[in-house]
Amino acid sequence: MADTQARSKPLPEADEASRPFYDGALAGRLMLMRCDDCGTVRLPSRRHCDRCLSTETTWVQASGRGSVRTFAVMHRVYHPGFADEVPYNIAVVELAEGPRIVSNLVGVSNADIRLGMPVEVEWERHNDVALPKFRPLTSDR
């Protein structure tokens, strides 16, 4: 039904360059590209290394841990798929391996989000795609 579709959230579609990332996500692994020549890790996927321009790359599994670099809380409905979730957060997580990823924080109220908060990835599964979300690490882990 068109109305139902309009109220669904948009989901990413893997292309050739990003397929290893999304395949890893479905298997519960956060995958990043690591330059074979200088070791720089990058995300999103792209052909050349940011540091040395090498095109020699290996996909590696990241730790899934990082910290909150910055965030915003959205109060307006910019897409009908998010109407039931406002206010919701959007966060930039700086991964332990270096790259930053835009995601959402789960398991924490928007009022309790803090810069530098340590977080760990968890996966939000849809039919054929899994999205990385980040949950604050508790001190007993």
Closest CB to Zn ion among 39 and 107?
Answer: 39
Closest CB to Zn ion among 48 and 126?
Answer: 48
Query: Minimum Å distance from CB 1 to Zn ion?
Result: 48
Query: Minimum Å distance from CB 89 to Zn ion?
Result: 33
Closest CB to Zn ion among 47 and 126?
Answer: 47
Query: Minimum Å distance from CB 49 to Zn ion?
Result: 3
The size of the interface with Zn ion (CB under 5 A), counted in residues, is: 8
Query: Minimum Å distance from CB 62 to Zn ion?
Result: 17
100: closest CA among 91, 108, 109?
91
Give yes or no for a contact between 135 and 122, defined as CB atoms under 8 angstroms apart. Answer: yes
| Contact pattern for Zn ion over residues 42 through 71, marking x by CB under 5 A | -------x-xx-x-----------------
In angstroms, the CA 131 to CA 3 distance is: 24
Q: What is the DSSP string of 16-62?
A: TTTHHHHHHHHTT--EEEEETTT--EESS--SS-TTT----EEEEE-
Q: What are phi and psi of 112, to 5 degrees?
A: -100, 0
In angstroms, the CA 11 to CA 128 distance is: 10
Residue type, 128: D
Sites for Zn ion among residues 24-43 (CB under 5 A): 35, 37-38, 40
Which residues make up the interface to Zn ion (CB under 5 A)? 35, 37-38, 40, 49, 51-52, 54
